[in-house]
Each structure stands twice: as C-alpha cells, then as structure tokens.
Structure 1
Amino acid sequence: MACTQVYATDRKARFRKLRKKTDKVRRRDVVLNFGAAGGASGISGASVRVMQMDSSFPFGACINPSVIQNQAFVDFFTKHFDWAVFENELKWYHTEAQQGQLNYNDSDALLDFCDRYGKQVRGHCIFWAVENTVQQWVKGLDNNGLKSAVQSRLQSLLTRYAGRFPHYDVNNEMLHGSFYKDRLGDDINAFMFRETARLDPGATLFVNDYNVECGNDPNATPEKYVEQIAALQQKGAPVGGIGLQGHVTNPVGEVLCDALDKLATTDLPVWLTELDVSESDVDLRADDLEVVLREAYAHPAVEGVVFWGFVDLRREWTSHARGHIDSNGHFKFRGYHGTYVVQLSTGTGKVHKTFSVEKGDTPLVLDMNL
C-alpha cells in the first residue's frame, strides 16, 4: 500500500525558480559575427532576424493504428513532435499472442508511418516483468522452454528491426514485477540487456518504470531504481538510459526534482517515457502537466519527454530574435539549444544561413561568412 505524504507548494514561486534554472540549462549566449564578411563598417546597422527551426530537446507522443487514420491527429503530431512510441503494438503479447504465430503487421505499419514523417521511435517494450502482462502460453512453459522462448523473442524482434528503434525498454517495470527473474534466476534481466546489445548494438537500452518520481510508492523509490541499475551493470548489462513513465497524480515540483537529482548520480540520461496526468478537471490537469514539464525541462539529466497524450509549452521554449548588427559587426542573442536560420537584410537583398546552438557554458561565437 502506498504511503500518503503532504507537501506545501507554491507553484508561482517554484516556476520563477525553474525559469532561471531552465535558462541556465537549456539556453546559451550567441554572438553572430558578420564582421568576417568583409568588414563591420559595411554592414553595421543592417537588419537581422533569427528564427529557431528545431529544438535539440525532443518531445514525442504515443501512437496506435487508430490515431494515425485521423488526419487532425496526424497534422498535430507531425507538426509538434519529434518521436513516437507505440501504445501496445510492439509488446510481446501483441506480436505473438499464440506461440509461434508472429504478427508484426501493426508495428510495421506504425514504423512505416514514422519513417514517412521522419520521426524516431522508442521500442516499447521487448519484455514486461509484471506477471499479469505475460501471455498464458508463456506462463505455461517449463523453465527450459521459457528460456528458449525469451531467446526466440529477442532474435525475432531485434533482427527484424535492427537499426530501426534508437531506444528499447528492455524489460518493463522491473521494480514492480519479477516474472522472468523468479522463473529463470537473477541473471536473466542482465542477459536480456546483453543480448539486445549484441543483436542491435546501435540502440540505447533503457530501464523503464512508474511512480519513481512521485514519492509515494515504497516499491519504486529513486534509491531502489539506482540500486537496480547498479546491479544490472555489475552483471554486464549495458544500461544506457532511465525511463520514468510519468503517470502522475498531484505532482509536487520539489519531489520530482529530488528524484531526478538522485537518478542523475548514475550519469545516465533520463527520459519521461509515458507522460500523462490523471486529474479529471481539465484546467487542473493542465496545471499538473505544466509542473512536470517545467521540472523535467529545467533538469540537466532529462534528455527527452514522450507524452501518453498532448500538451504544448514549446512556444515558450523557442527562441526568435530581431535587431541590427552593431558597430563591431556582431548580433547577440540568447537562444535555446537547437537549429536556427538567420536572415540578414541589406540594401542589396536578403541572405539566409543556418546554424546550430549546442550545450555550453560560454558564449557561442559563430562566423557567418555570408
């Protein structure tokens, strides 16, 4: 039974603090040097416009065969999101509901959809540790048969889709379930990671679990998650990322931040992999989701967010700038990490050039050489 904890919150004050933290973590001073293009005197005072085209921080969303038939959904998804995750279509119980009868039709169709629109996809999931998610035919196997079935699942899935999924959730929710470990011993989870890496060495392999960020589940504390990761690594599991599902109720920013701080001690990237909130009131739900998003975006360990639904703070986290070149041939602005296009307007016309702003603590000086 989960314990109940009470926290005092002042979201306005917390958001002010997070905006400062976000500015430090996600933005950088940029100096566009136009002086190299033939002397500052010739272009001093010329009009400059900088527009951010893409963010280096990825947002994704859950998809299934039904929603990709809805044009309104497709339009919104393709405009606002960089990544996708399949709702159920890659899970073992979907691709092999009956032993030996493999069905990848749905996952193939969803992957083709994502390829068509240039979206990357998280592989969710290869196995699921919670017993009530395991097919009955798998449960009915003896231990030798189960080990063989596990190997067959890895071989089938990973050879079919080698190089197609940049991320894999290898064995979902190991803090809450232990079906394979109970049947096949302590090494099986690490074996799944090692074998996945052997069959698809380009993929980043994640642990993935829920309630870790909530502070109310004794089975899923950040400390236990860190211990689990360390134990896997000691057995040779190449754990490359930490998934926080983010199915959140009544989020408290300080609690989320504390959990992220503890997970950051692993030096692994953290993704919110299935973010949604359960508040029934739509306005309060938006408020709760904003808490989680702001905490995640402000934390340096977090490298991506995938929604189990939609929301958009991206306009606030996008940089545009207008102004004029100074007497030194410079145009300065502070921008979020990502790709940009700069437009220089002079008496002879307009010139465009693209550039990127990457992480860094010092000002980024870029020679435009237009």
Structure 2
Amino acid sequence: MALAHEVAFEVNLIEDDGGLAGWAPVGTRTALSAHAERDTAMLISGAVSAAEPNERIRRSSGRYIVASRRADEEDGLRRAVPAGALVPRVTYRVVGWVSVQGQGDGRHHAVRVGLRVDGDGGDDERGSWLDCGAARVEVGGGWAEINGAFRLRASPRVAAVHVHGAPAGVDVKVMDLQVYATDRKARLTQLKEQTDKVRKRDVILKLGGGATMAGASIRVAQLENRFPFGSCINKTAIRNPKFVDFFCDNFDWAVVLREAYAHPAVEGVVLWGFMEGQMWRRDAYLVDADGTVNEAGQRFLQLQREWRSDARGIVDGDGRFKFRGFHGTYVAQVTTATGKMLKTFTVEKGDNSLELDLDIEI
C-alpha cells in the first residue's frame, strides 16, 4: 500500500485534452460530443473561492463535453480514474465547471459529481457510490463551479468519476474536471491562516486615564466564542445513508470542522450527537456512556480551546493595548501598583480594526 508521502499532490488524475478520449456515456440513450467555449473570461480564476485564496489558479481550457439525449437523472458521463491512483486515507478534491442546456429556460437544476468504486464502471449499479459535490445551475445561465472532496478506506480495484443530475432531456456539460490529492498538512496550515482572516479581528483597547495607565499589566481572556456548536436530535436526517456516509466514511472530522470554521459562509456546526448510547451513529460519540470524554471528544475540546483568544502584555504610552482575537465575549484584567480591575467587552464581526473604550480607572 502506498503511503501518504508517496502521493503526488496537486496532480490531476484524469488529465485530458478536451476531446472525447477517456469519456464514456452513462445511460442507454446518452450521447457525448466535444465542443469549445468562446467566452471563458468569467472562468479565469473562478475555481479559487474566497475561502481558498492560496490555492492554485485553475485556468479554463474552454473545451467541454456535452451529455445529450439523457433519459434519466442518473444518466450523464463518466471517466475512469487510473488503476492504483487512489490511496486510502488521502483527501482528494474534485473540481471543475458544469452547465446545462435544453428545456426549462430560467429554471435551476442540480448537477452532481460522484465516484463509483469497485463496480463495472458502466450502467450496472453494483459497487459503492460516493457523492463528491454538487452545483445549482441555471438553464442558459452559463457555467457554475462544482467543488467537492472524498476519502477512501481501501484502495479500489476500479474507480470512475460520474457526472449526472438534472431532469431527463436536459443536456449536461462538463469542462476541465479535475481529481487530485491534497496535502493534508499543508491544507491544515492554510486553514489556520484562513481562519485567522475570517474569524478574527484586530482590537485596540483604550483604557480610561490614557497615559496614566501606561506600563500597566493587562491580560485579555475570551469567555465565549460566537461560533455556535450544537447537537442534532432529528433522527430522520441522520438515518439517510447518503448523508451519513458522505461525512463519516470520507472525511477526517478534525479536518471537516476546520474546513467549516475557515469558511466565511458557515455560521455554525450541528453534530449528530455527543454521548454514547444517545445517538444513532455508532463510534461517532464524544463522551462515553460513563461520562468520560473520549479521544474524539478531547480533540473537539482542543479545537474549541484553539479557537479562543488569550493575550497579555503591557499598556502602551497612550493607554492602549492591541491584540487580535476571535469574535466573542472577553474579560480584560488590568493590574497596576495600586490594584486590579476587570472589564468585559465584545468583539463583533467586521473588516476594520475595532477600537473599544473600556473606561477602566483604578
């Protein structure tokens, strides 16, 4: 079995020349054809999202494949992944551009990309299916980015990427589809940097008394993080195998939470549960039945500690103290030769530096 350090990161496993070679139709009536897009200006760097500014820029080739005469939502097109290319416990990204054309102008349709492993790769439904991403595309509305990921527990004998979705009769178009391994350590470093940009803010504390407070010792500790975590009690959703397998079987949870926390559009996280015997998903609990916080729970608590700010230092000559902290509630303790003073304050979301008058006088 190949080890993670032997994996070629950021290398497209399904590189093609934009023609039909390597692509196959899915569906008894589906037909494939190759085309070229004249206007690709909008696609120059569209695969680089706001949450991932350091990722490589994937420029559009302008060449795409159309799957037409589709008779079912499952019909579309597929491309085999080279044998032995997928390594267990490595995170793979799936990115590309999709579009639709045909009936229902002005309507939106979902286009999905998935990975079928250890089936025959054709129309046979045997083998395992992993959802890898989806995009909501407007008919006649141009191209939309599709972006997903997956992980495998074992090396598959056969694997193929399958693009489908949208109702029968609607053509599905695919441009520059890529499957590549990501460097987990490098990604975690990137996520920490992105988290700092998305979830933190520069704060300037202005203490009452101004220069008279110069030289005072100050410690700032975060009491509450404004990013909410909750526990799911809806058994209907968590009993959906596709929903559960997509997250539990394909991802490292420490990684999933970091991805969520680093993305500006995510406002909170809901877990399936937290205590053994009180949740449906086996081995996904954070607290054992006897109340002991297990290893997974300890990692979760470590993340929560990591996502809280603690700063200390000396008040400057103007009676100010600067730090960078996560959004939430804080307490500041100021110590001088004559005593101590505590003051609570809140760091709200914002793009600019935040200046707060603490009105602390000892």
Task: Please say whether Structure 1 and Structure 2 have the same fold, judged by a TM-score greater than 0.5.
Answer: no
Which category describes the TM-score, using the shorter chain as reference length? 0.3 to 0.5
Greater per-residue strand proportion: 2
Higher relative contact order (CA 8 A, sep 6+): 1
Could you say which structure has the larger radius of gyration? 2
